Amino acid sequence: MAGKLSKLKPGASRSVHLLVAATLWTVVGISLMSRGIVWLNGLGQLWIVLPGLLLGSLKSLFMLDRSAIKSINRIIATRDGRCIGGVYSVKTWLLVLLMMAAGCLMRNSSLPKELLGLFYVSIGWGLLFSSRTAWVAWKKGDEVPLKKNTGMGV
């Protein structure tokens, strides 16, 4: 029975897992940034995008890069053929769900749209900027683990 079920799982190579990781960080980053920019533009407060980009860059360089590299190295250390959902650990998927719930709560709260726009732009830019680590890993191939970088060069 287990053998039949394993044939149904959407298994993928490490290279595909790296591509999926890079794509997820990129798409989510662009989506969050876009939503924040639309809110800020509608309020005539587009200038708030600049501090959002600065905060997002700092978050990327000091927090998200480390997380991205940890995920990339975990993918590289696994075998080919793992389920595509295994691109992230269960702990990471739970964190994603928690962040999505927090985003829903924030959107439905009485927080000013300017503050929400700042959050969305900074978080979105941080994810988009840190996605470069997964894109570099995907381009290099899955044979070499990444080390913590000190800035732009991964």
| Axis crossing angle, helix 14-42 with helix 49-59, rounded to the nearest 10 | 150
What pLDDT is recorded for position 3? 62
Q: How high is the pLDDT of residue 6?
A: 61
Domain boundaries, the chain: 13-79+87-137
Distance CA 146, CA 93 (A): 22
C-alpha 49/C-alpha 52 separation (Å) is 5
* pLDDT score, position 38: 96
Of 69, 79, 71, 111, the residue nearest 14 (C-alpha) = 79
Provide the β-strand partners of residue 83: 11
pTM attached to this predicted model? 0.85
- What are the phi and psi torsion angles at 130 (to 5°)? -75, -15
Give the model's pLDDT for residue 8: 65
Question: How far is it between the farthest Cα atoms of the chain?
Answer: 60
Is residue 49 a contact partner of residue 123, using CB atoms and an 8 Å limit? no
Local confidence pLDDT in tens for the 154 residues of the chain: 556 656 666 778 889 999 999 999 999 999 999 999 999 999 999 999 999 999 999 999 999 999 999 989 988 888 888 888 888 888 888 988 999 999 999 999 999 999 999 999 999 999 999 999 999 999 987 565 666 654 444 4
